[in-house]
Structure 1
């Protein structure tokens, strides 16, 4: 894991995704984020770490546009402006985050073995809570700390 902290953009994959967004044509950025969220939200098999890391970063960008949200990481996140996301991005982001922290997610497994794993999980659950404060998690395992 090329990871230096627990934030959504605090790993090589997410920082590279932010760079890809910055380099993409303005009209392509929304589609890139949608593709990441859909791929992870619809995952039926074991979710691999890079897809999960991109999904957490994409969800953080959706949270940044929520009235109760917070800005995305200014250091490693995208620098170029992003379009206003459609309302369905919130649902897609929640579904993707549910997949990221549920089994069988390789990223959740790796963080489960790390000292800062509980802190990482709390950050993901917090992002999810901003997007869907009244929706219960899909599985109880979302809040378990291994």
Structure 2
């Protein structure tokens, strides 16, 4: 994995993932994000770094549409706009990020071997915070079944 900084898009795999989003039809982009998040969130065994990087990039793109989210301005992010994303992606993104930083995650292990590991983890936690706050506020605002 070619990595040049700790940002969510500062590596070859994330840049390739975003290129794939750009190549996809507009109606397929949300499904690609969902797939990347599900792959990481549901990983029961060792999580490969490329899969984890894709999940981090997908989570950052979901978070960009949340209140308090940061717009993706990286030159390595998608060039094409994303459609408004379903709020249900937010808790999935939280679960994916939790798995990325958990044990048996190659990406977390790689970062933990560097002096930039703590800063990388802080960036993931900040991203998770935006998503978690938005996911919980969406759940509170959702109508209760039967009411």
Residue 7 of structure 1 deviates from its aligned partner by 0.5
Measured at CA, do residues 7 and 79 of structure 1 come closer, stay the same or move farther in structure 2, by a change above 3 Å?
Answer: same
Aligned ranges for residues 1-146 of structure 1 at < 5 Å?
1-133=1-133
1:134 Cα deviation from its structure 2 partner: 9.1
State how far apart, in whole Å, the 1-side matches of 2:134 and 2:109 are.
27
- For structure 1, which runs of at least 5 residues remain unmatched after alignment? 136-146
Taking only aligned residues, the RMSD between alpha carbons, in angstroms, comes to 1.3
Deviation at 1:115, TM superposition (A): 1.4
> Are the aligned partners of 2:47 and 2:105 in contact in 1 as well (CA < 8 Å)?
yes
Gaps of 5+ in 2: 136-147
Measured in 2, the distance between the counterparts of 1:89 and 1:95 equals: 10
**Does structure 1 retain, via aligned residues, the 8 Å contact 2:90–2:134?**
no
8 A contact 1:49–1:105 mirrored in 2: yes
Q: Distance in 1 between matches of 2:8 and 2:106?
A: 16
Q: Contact conserved, 1:9 with 1:73, CA < 8 A, in 2?
A: no
Give the number of equivalent residue pairs.
135
**3-state SS of paired residue (2:57):** helix
TM-score normalized by the length of structure 1: 0.89
Q: 1:32 deviation in Å?
A: 0.5
SS of residue matched to 1:126? helix
Give TM-score, length-normalised by structure 2. Answer: 0.88
